[in-house]
A and B are shown apart, each in its own frame.
Chain A
Amino acid sequence: DGGITQSPKYLFRKEGQNVTLSCEQNLNHDAMYWYRQDPGQGLRLIYYSQIVNDFQKGDIAEGYSVSREKKESFPLTVTSAQKNPTAFYLCASNPTGPGLPTPDTEAFFGQGTRLTVV
């Protein structure tokens, strides 16, 4: 079955350490996204990529980095510069292309990674 896989589901990090969250999709989608979710704040966009080897900063990119070396993979690194990294992180993907979207085009989300700094 096609979908998005995020790993690990739970992650603990010591202060001052970098940590990388994995996101893999087998939907053949061009666009991939990373969101951060905090209670009462909804989802905020960290980074997004619409094509391999290219990505753009979202609304809260400071303290994060990404890479897009393969179409299927969009890992997110939470660096020590991120002041408040404890949150629920969601990865998403969707197809892109000219014209109106079809009824089948939508953003698909992974199951999320809960990162806790200890």
Chain B
Amino acid sequence: AQSVTQLDSQVPVFEEAPVELRCNYSSSVSVYLFWYVQYPNQGLQLLLKYLSGSTLVKGINGFEAEFNKSQTSFHLRKPSVHISDTAEYFCAVSDALGDFGNEKLTFGTGTRLTIIP
């Protein structure tokens, strides 16, 4: 079984400043990793995912994340945030064994990113 830890429940950041949202995972097998964004009263939208290959993954809206296997981390970064980035961000993990989709996603508790004008 896997688990995901998002250490920061809330992160306030000034507009145009850089941001890093932290995610650590625990698993005894290889994993796929995901970051989702949720705007108020809406579903989740995929920002980016790590499946294999390059450990630096680029996603939508200028976000990127780096998979670090030795530190079991998948931190999300953006060099300059905008007001429109205010949302809740979820890190998720699934086992990378067998057929894709047969292993369900395990989510972290989320990080609320607030951009200060």
Residues of A within 8 A of B (CB): 4, 6, 30-31, 33, 35, 40-45, 48, 50, 58, 88, 90, 92, 94-101, 103, 105-107, 109-112, 114
Contact = CB atoms under 8 A, between A and B. Distances in A.
Nearest to A106: B46
B102 A96 contact: yes
Q: What is the interface residue range for chain B against chain A?
A: 20 to 34
Interface in B39-53: 41-46, 49, 51-52
Contacts, number: 74
Interface stretch (B12-20, B61-69, B72-80, B103-111): B103-111
A37 B26 CA distance: 22
Given A58-B104, A107-B34, 13 more contacts: A33-B105, A40-B110, A42-B107, A42-B108, A48-B104, A50-B101, A50-B102, A95-B101, A98-B99, A100-B100, A101-B51, A109-B43, A112-B41
A106 B49 contact: yes
A114 B44 CA distance: 14
B107 A31 contact: no
A101 B109 contact: no
Instruction: Report which residue of B6, B43, B110 has the largest number of chain A beta carbons within 10 angstroms of its beta carbon.
Output: B43
A89 B11 CA distance: 25
A40 B105 CA distance: 18
B9 interface: yes
Contacts of B104: 33, 45, 48, 58
11 contacts: A42-B6, A42-B107, A50-B102, A94-B101, A100-B51, A100-B52, A101-B32, A101-B51, A105-B100, A107-B46, A114-B41
A114 B43 CA distance: 11
Nearest to A41: B109
Nearest to A88: B41
B41 A42 contact: no
B65 to A, nearest CB: 14
